Structure 1
Amino acid sequence: MPEPFVAYLRVYEPLSSFESSVREQLSGAVERGPVQQSRAGLREQDVWLRTQLTAPPQLLPGENRRRGSADDVLVLSPEQVPSGPAATVGPGPLVCPLDLRGRCAAALVGFLGDADVPLRTAALSVDADHARAQASSVVSELSDGAVHVLSSTWTVPLPWFVLVDPQEREVVAGERGTDRVSWRVAMADARRRVTRAHAVGKQSIGEDGPTKILRETGRWLERFHPHSAVELDYGGLVQLMSESDVEADTSAEDVHAIVDAMETGDPDEVSARYEGLRDFWGEFAARERHN
């Protein structure tokens, strides 16, 4: 079974920054063995499928476990995170809980709000009102924190590239081509870049579209420890990419160039860079319609 065609934006916080009860659970998960970054999508897929194979099926992962349990985490050391001179990362280990229960609940609330009645009926094993109430209850538990992972199917939201240093891309090759494409960045550097890009976008194109995504992303980053790390990972999208696609991918450079061009008032540069990005990512996004 292929890995889900999902890209991720993740935050890794110092383990020492969590409250004692959560820190104890996360420490246990680290000791049992963290999930490998390259296997995160498959792990999420496996957990979800297992909820549907129980008798009766579970609406959300972890329904039989205590609130706040953290069984799946990703781990980094501060030395794995490039950072600017004014940024501090750590102390280690840095941990990213997958937060599957909360993320699934938020996705379910969105699905119930957008899907047509026949699709909801076919997809759910319980009444839609009951599902909405249960999922909303789980989402409300997140009010004091934030999920550590944002995800996007079939494409990467272009504003996410603002956070990273284009020169710090890491490409991991495998037997069948590219296994992984990712960037890591210190939280302080990510916040600085998103703040600048939001200010430029607001001045240039207003508060809607990409500027709104930048504002929401900045608010999300502010909810985490300032010495955290941020990771942009293409995840399962690399399965759609040939080696030539990876070599031709200048998305991070293009997005940064767009911000610079907006700031200096160069609409021709903005247009040219955006057209290239639309052509590159449009090919992958179009596959969703034919899947």
Structure 2
Amino acid sequence: MPRPFVAYLRVYEPLPSLDTALRQRVEEALGAGELDPADAGERERQLWLKAQLASPPRLLPGELPDGTAAPSAPFDVMVLEPEDVPAETDGEIGPGPLVCPLDVRPRAAAALIGFLSTAPAPLREQVLPLPPDSVRSRASAVMAELTAGAVHVVSSTWTVPLPWFALVDPDARQLVLAPQEDPHRRVCWRVSMADARRRTARAHTAVHDALGDEGPAKVLKDTGRWLEHFHPHSAVELDYGGLVQLLDDADLLADTSAHDVHAAVDALESGDVDEVAELYERLREFWGEVAERERFN
């Protein structure tokens, strides 16, 4: 079975910076073995299916029928070392190890809250096992349990949001051209939190001044607020995840998305509208072909 077609933006915090309760859970999880990011999508799918196939079905992964967290629920953690993260002179990272909890239960809760806000009433009635107010209350309670106030991972299906590329150094891409079905086939960037915040702020200003508050500017604003929840010496990772299964080697080698987004920010700052339009069209064509495959699934 192919991996889920999901891309990720992750934050890895220094283990010593976590509050005591979370640090203890992370240390216990690391004692059992860290999660390889290549396996993260499959792990999430496994936990979700297990919740839905339980009797009675669970509202969220990793919980008991009454909505409380299951004591035996898996707690998965991914790990980076500071030396594996490129940083500019102002981008201090660590001390290590840098850890990223998978946060499946609170991420599912956040998705449920989003679903309640956007889905039409007939659809909510068909798919939810409880009244919407009860679902919202339980999901909000799970989100309130997060000590940092935010999940360590955000994800996007079938595409990479273009504003995410503004966070990274285009020249720091890591590319592994394993066979397309190999879970270690990968495209990712890693960046210090200081650099990610600085680049996000710069891109937001350029986009906001040129295009207004909505669209990419809103994504950048929300991303900047999300990054502020975490320790300033953390690392950020942009990972194509399972999307690499949809792109052949030639596509990956020819992919200039990060360079194009940074060039677009430069063009917005200089007022070169034609350059912005040309870059956007190139990005739209590349990622549009990937996202179109959703219609066939």
- Equivalent residue number for residue 61 of structure 2: 61
- 2:115 maps to 1:111: yes
1:231 Cα offset (Å): 0.1
- 2:245 maps to 1:265: no
- Equivalent residue number for residue 25 of structure 1: 25
Identify the range of structure 1 (84-93 vs 177-186) with the bigger mean alpha-carbon deviation: 177-186
Match of 2:293 among 272, 284, 287: 287
Q: Is the 8 A contact 1:34 1:72 kept in 2?
A: yes
Q: CA RMSD of the aligned region, Å?
A: 1.8
Q: Is the 8 A contact 1:108 1:135 kept in 2?
A: yes
Q: Deviations over 1:201-252 (max 9, x none)?
A: 1221122211111111111111110100000000011111111111121000
**Distance in 2 of aligned mates of 1:177 and 1:260:** 37
The alignment's TM-score, normalised by the length of structure 2, stands at: 0.92
Q: Is the 8 A contact 1:164 1:183 kept in 2?
A: yes
- Equivalent residue number for residue 238 of structure 2: 232
3-state SS in 2 of match to 1:174:
coil
**Distance in 1 of aligned mates of 2:268 and 2:123:** 42
- Equivalent residue number for residue 209 of structure 1: 215
- 2:150 maps to 1:146: yes
Percent identity, please. 58
**Distance in 1 of aligned mates of 2:133 and 2:21:** 33
3-state SS in 2 of match to 1:42:
helix
Matches within 5 A, 1:73-152: 73-142=77-146, 145-152=149-156
Amino acid of the structure 2 residue aligned with 1:26: V
1:70 Cα offset (Å): 7.2
Structure 1 residues 70 and 145: CA distance shift in structure 2, 3 A: farther
- Equivalent residue number for residue 258 of structure 2: 252
Q: Deviations over 1:127-153 (max 9, x none)?
A: 444323322222233485210001011
**Distance in 2 of aligned mates of 1:183 and 1:142:** 26
Structure 1 residues 201 and 176: CA distance shift in structure 2, 3 A: closer
Q: Is the 8 A contact 1:25 1:70 kept in 2?
A: no
Amino acid of the structure 2 residue aligned with 1:258: A
3-state SS in 1 of match to 2:145:
helix
- Equivalent residue number for residue 11 of structure 1: 11
- Equivalent residue number for residue 188 of structure 2: 182
1:17 Cα offset (Å): 0.3
The alignment's TM-score, normalised by the length of structure 1, stands at: 0.94
**Distance in 1 of aligned mates of 2:178 and 2:290:** 21
Q: Is the 8 A contact 2:180 2:245 kept in 1?
A: no
**Distance in 1 of aligned mates of 2:56 and 2:99:** 33
**Distance in 1 of aligned mates of 2:125 and 2:264:** 44
**Distance in 1 of aligned mates of 2:34 and 2:155:** 19
**How many residues of Structure 1 are paired with residues of Structure 2 in the alignment?**
290
Unpaired runs of at least 5, structure 1: none
